[in-house]
Amino acid sequence: MGARVSRNDFEWVYTEEPHASRRKIILEKYPEIKQLFGYDPLFKWVVTGMVLFQLLMLPVVAGLSWPVAMLLAYCFGGVINHSLMLVSEQPSLLGIFRSDDMW
Highest mean pLDDT of the ranges 37-46, 74-83, 92-101 = 74-83
CA 52, CA 40: separation in Å to the nearest integer? 20
**From the DSSP assignment, how many helices (H) and strands (E) are in the chain?**
4, 0
- The pLDDT score that the predictor gives to residue 71 is 92
Q: Per the confidence metrics, is the pTM higher than 0.75?
A: no
Sign of CA dihedral 76, 78, 83, 88: positive
pLDDT at position 14 over 70: yes
- The pLDDT score that the predictor gives to residue 22 is 87
pLDDT at position 58 over 70: yes
